[in-house]
Chains A and B, each alone.
Chain A
Amino acid sequence: MTEDRLAPPTFDPADAAAAAKRFAASAPADVHYALVDSPVGTLVAAATPRGLATLSYEDFHGGVDAVLDNLATKLSPRMLEAPAKLDDVRRELDEYFEGRRRDFDLKIDWALASDFGRRILKATAAIPFGEISTYGKVAAKAGNAKASRAAGRALGANPIPIVVPCHRVVGTNGQLTGYTGGLHRKVALLQIEGIVLG
């Protein structure tokens, strides 16, 4: 203690870090997220109490912080990193990439999709493992056969790739067109499912 100051108490930063970790693991946030490693890159997985809201290829969306900032704006800033709350997502993805899973049983929160986008994504979710469809067919299934371009845009903005298998949607003559994580990933995912396009 000097004339006009009092030295702050000593503390172990590891204690503070542990307390913060306990908080993030147990507090009721609006959005829980975790980084998930996969053979097609690092994914940011984020879930609300309603279900999985996004699975983002972080490198394709400006990095992890940019992905999280975007979620804070679009969903809620009450976000915590809570890997244990995304255990089922991680497990199902692992099984998919190991060839032991063909369908995902995860609850989905469609909050990040528009109404039309939601119909397109649900039609896409119905395409079976190992099969492909076209933008036109998906648009028709969503109730508007003429909306294949809009379907393409909705799939390009798919907030939950892999689980909602937009990689199974290709152009009419089989060309890959685009993918929300880059075409190389679309190729890789189709290969996992035994599909090789020219």
Chain B
Amino acid sequence: MKNLFTRRFDRLVRLAVTVLGGALVFGVGFSLYALWPSNQAVGYEPVQPVPFSHKRMAGDNKIPCLYCHDGAERGPVAGLPTVEVCMNCHTYVQPKDKQGNLTPGMQALFEYVDPATNKPTKPIVWEKIHDLSDFAYFDHSRHTVGARLPCADCHGPVETMDQVYQVNSLKMGWCLDCHTKPPEPWRTDGRATRGPTQCTSCHR
């Protein structure tokens, strides 16, 4: 009796099966890669309401991180500078461009300040960049004072960034990497041997 399927069709079927199978495998692998959280957060760089350049402040002017983020050595939250803190300097330092009008940054800042009195009028609403899940309890001081780690170890070379972006994934795996086997320098200078790895350290 004659074959139900031609040889070509048969080959076609086999091919189709192979291709589909391959596509499936690729698809799963790929979406895994794409959804892999470390591939999302890293590089997140929202536009901030005030064009504030960490490069100029922390880089060129060498203002220490703690001047503005003073909570970092005091408690869990590093904190953002209050508008007052900005005005500590900018009451006197008000950079202008060649035309002699205030730089965009300054103009933006003055939207939050009463130019007459230089007193803050309303809070600045920043875009959150380093955003841990609410169920993860991170304590800055534990790392800055306790383990004496420099800010850059987690936040990257902020002093080189005009607009800050996220450098590390800040995911649990990433934390655990250091908590289980700290990078060479820390161990050698005896700063951090290893961090806690129990759930309760971060989840409560």
Q: Tell me if chain B binds chain A.
A: no
